[in-house]
Homo-oligomer: A and B are copies of this chain.
């Protein structure tokens, strides 16, 4: 039975100006987690959220995470956790978001003041944090308020987990989630995260997969100190020459990873999976627009989406220790550290990847006959994540999209990683859904970040509708 959502939707429309005002107040707090001098603003933003939630009738706690590692003069901002409703006959949904933002300065090239929500004639709401992630976080608060004001019973118990360090590596969050999964979050039935984006600008999506990332540093060293190329060029093995030669063996210009055995780890494409890609609302024009060029590798959207979502890729990021400034310097760097990473997919296990990487690089280096020393190190790894899109958590969200937008959502994966997704899945053992509010053009992390008014208001309706459908879904989908 479809839930009766019209009163809720009408209330959201009626409150839309006050919801926008809530976002305006939040954007005005420059809660930049990466800037020490803005740490008080991050706390202020946590307090703002806590007060709003309390005023809506939620049970709220600001949980301290201690001192910031490496910067012990700074307190980490609290995790704001909240519970709204405690009815054992209702499902309990844990939602995650973050209230800190990326740095932003007008002089970086913003057309408007970054910490002043500015709405243009096309109803685009510009401001740092508008889409990443204050809009989605406030969406949950808006849902509560609309239910209260419309006098509609809230369909689930809602647990909130809003952190203030997401843009700076989510310091301390993993341990916190692990601990609270058995405490404050213990009755969680499913998790919903709204911190990513639609694939395009027209059609909502539900995201059920992410690639992982294994990041490597390859250090080549030889001379005791940087050398003058006039004096030593031709008589000493140069670390940069060796590094470049080894790096040229890793991947070709068409993106084909050349490390033997690596592609054998990748789960084969099934006929069923193959059918998913043609229906996704995406085009090569979309890719070229986001690339800012036509330097795409594949000819079709299907191959492009598969390359992004379900195949590994290898990118060379740069070299530490070599000459990297403008101008001309005739140095032979004594020690260079090349960085590259591999985006991983099912069924690539991190240890297998690292073993193949190290074996290959060491054997290629051995071929050079160099007296330099090479060392390969895994700097960090994050596992890929794939959820079951047939779980009631997803089918409920799918129905909510249908109800609010009148379309079936695209079922998408993403090429990047959102590490907290895997943390929630592993800590709670429950299904995790990524339910984005913003669109692909929102420019999170860039200048002129924005959230369209329709994405914010319709998105608020979507979050609420999702909770209603969640309440009605049978356990076995």
Q: Are A253 and B368 neighbours in the complex by a CB distance under 8 Å?
A: yes
A247 contact set on B, CB distance < 8 A:
244, 248
Q: Are B316 and A244 neighbours in the complex by a CB distance under 8 Å?
A: yes
Q: Are B304 and A235 neighbours in the complex by a CB distance under 8 Å?
A: yes
A319 contact set on B, CB distance < 8 A:
318-319, 322, 324
A295 contact set on B, CB distance < 8 A:
222-223, 236-237, 370-372
Cα A225 to Cα B253 in complex, Å, equals 18
Contact A316 to B241, CB < 8 A, known contacts A234-B255, A343-B234 = yes
Is A369's beta carbon under 8 Å from chain B? yes
Contacting A291 at CB < 8 Å: which of B223, B229, B330? B223
Q: Are A233 and B313 neighbours in the complex by a CB distance under 8 Å?
A: yes
Q: Are B328 and A235 neighbours in the complex by a CB distance under 8 Å?
A: no
A254 contact set on B, CB distance < 8 A:
237, 369
Task: For the complex formed, measure the closest distance between the CB of A222 and the CB atoms of chain B, giving whole angstroms.
Answer: 4
A293 contact set on B, CB distance < 8 A:
222-224, 236, 371
Is A341's beta carbon under 8 Å from chain B? yes
Contact A241 to B251, CB < 8 A, known contacts A223-B295, A307-B235, A324-B324 = yes
Is A380's beta carbon under 8 Å from chain B? yes
Chain B's closest residue to A310 (CB) is B234
Cα A333 to Cα B414 in complex, Å, equals 20
A311 contact set on B, CB distance < 8 A:
234
Cα A341 to Cα B314 in complex, Å, equals 28
Which A residues, 240 to 271, have Cβ-Cβ distances below 8 Å to chain B?
A: 240-242, 244-245, 247-248, 251-255
A318 contact set on B, CB distance < 8 A:
240, 319, 322-324, 329, 331, 333
Cα A45 to Cα B217 in complex, Å, equals 47
Chain B's closest residue to A256 (CB) is B234
Q: Are A326 and B320 neighbours in the complex by a CB distance under 8 Å?
A: yes
Q: Are B317 and A224 neighbours in the complex by a CB distance under 8 Å?
A: no
Cα A302 to Cα B252 in complex, Å, equals 40
A379 contact set on B, CB distance < 8 A:
328
Q: Are A415 and B234 neighbours in the complex by a CB distance under 8 Å?
A: yes
Q: Are A229 and B317 neighbours in the complex by a CB distance under 8 Å?
A: yes
Which A residues, 308 to 350, have Cβ-Cβ distances below 8 Å to chain B?
A: 308, 311-320, 322-326, 328-334, 339, 341, 343
Task: Give the contact-size bracket for chain A.
Answer: 35 or more
Task: For the complex formed, measure the closest distance between the CB of A196 and the CB atoms of chain B, giving whole angstroms.
Answer: 11
Chain B's closest residue to A440 (CB) is B231
Cα A299 to Cα B322 in complex, Å, equals 27
Is A287's beta carbon under 8 Å from chain B? yes
Cα A270 to Cα B308 in complex, Å, equals 60
Is A294's beta carbon under 8 Å from chain B? yes
Is A150's beta carbon under 8 Å from chain B? no
Is A227's beta carbon under 8 Å from chain B? yes
A238 contact set on B, CB distance < 8 A:
253, 255, 315-316
Q: Are B224 and A291 neighbours in the complex by a CB distance under 8 Å?
A: yes
Is A292's beta carbon under 8 Å from chain B? yes
Task: For the complex formed, measure the closest distance between the CB of A43 and the CB atoms of chain B, giving whole angstroms.
Answer: 26
A334 contact set on B, CB distance < 8 A:
292
Cα A1 to Cα B433 in complex, Å, equals 99
Contacting A240 at CB < 8 Å: which of B224, B308, B316, B380? B316
Is A394's beta carbon under 8 Å from chain B? no
A315 contact set on B, CB distance < 8 A:
229, 233, 238, 240-241, 330, 332
Q: Are B248 and A252 neighbours in the complex by a CB distance under 8 Å?
A: no
Most chain B beta carbons < 10 A, residue from A318, A343, A370, A372? A318
Is A140's beta carbon under 8 Å from chain B? no
A291 contact set on B, CB distance < 8 A:
222-224, 227, 232, 236
Contacting A228 at CB < 8 Å: which of B231, B294, B296, B416? B416
Is A67's beta carbon under 8 Å from chain B? no
23 cross-chain CB contacts under 8 A: A228-B416, A230-B343, A230-B417, A231-B290, A232-B291, A233-B315, A235-B255, A235-B297, A236-B293, A236-B297, A237-B295, A238-B315, A240-B317, A253-B370, A296-B371, A317-B322, A317-B323, A317-B330, A318-B329, A319-B319, A320-B324, A328-B339, A328-B380
Please give 15 more A-B residue pairs, beta carbons under 8 A apart, in addition to A215-B330, A253-B372.
Answer: A231-B308, A232-B290, A232-B308, A233-B343, A234-B311, A234-B313, A234-B343, A234-B415, A235-B304, A235-B313, A240-B316, A244-B247, A248-B248, A318-B331, A320-B325
